[in-house]
Amino acid sequence: MAVGDIVNGLHVGTGGNVDFQPAVGVSICITSCGVWGSYVMITNGTITSTLLDTIATGQPNTKLMIDNTNYLQLYQVPANGGSYSGIQIK
């Protein structure tokens, strides 16, 4: 991937966490994320902070910077979904 490339993911819940952790040296600006009955979190693998914790919501104007150290994590209740979209900035 290169700077300016679009990244996105769409996941159906399995009752566990789905991580989006960029490669070492890569930074991503998450510009949009949404969940249905799930959680959007940021984590460093040890400490996790919940950003969205609702039944159904989206954040169409998100500006969340992630990298290999602090990355995006979706917790998904079975059969529910989550998604994210962003752009590589480094």
Identify the domain containing residue 64 by its residue range.
6-88
Within a 13 Å sphere around the CA of 14, how many CA atoms are in the beta-carbon half? 7
Of 23, 44, 41, 21, which is closest to residue 33 (Cα–Cα)?
41
**Strand, coil or helix: 54:** strand
Confidence band, pLDDT 50/70/90 cuts, at residue 23: very high
Give the pLDDT confidence of 72-87 residue by residue, as tens digits: 988 877 767 778 899 9
Output DSSP code: residue 79: T
Dist CA 21 CA 41 (whole Å): 12
Quote the number of domains for the chain. 1
Please indicate, yes or no, if residue 1 is contained in any of the structural domains. no
Pair 44, 69: CB distance under 8 Å: yes
Please indicate, yes or no, if residue 82 is contained in any of the structural domains. yes
CATH number of the domain that residue 60 is part of: 2.60.120.340
pTM: 0.83
Dist CA 84 CA 16 (whole Å): 17
Give the pLDDT confidence of 38-69 residue by residue, as tens digits: 788 899 999 999 887 765 556 666 788 999 99
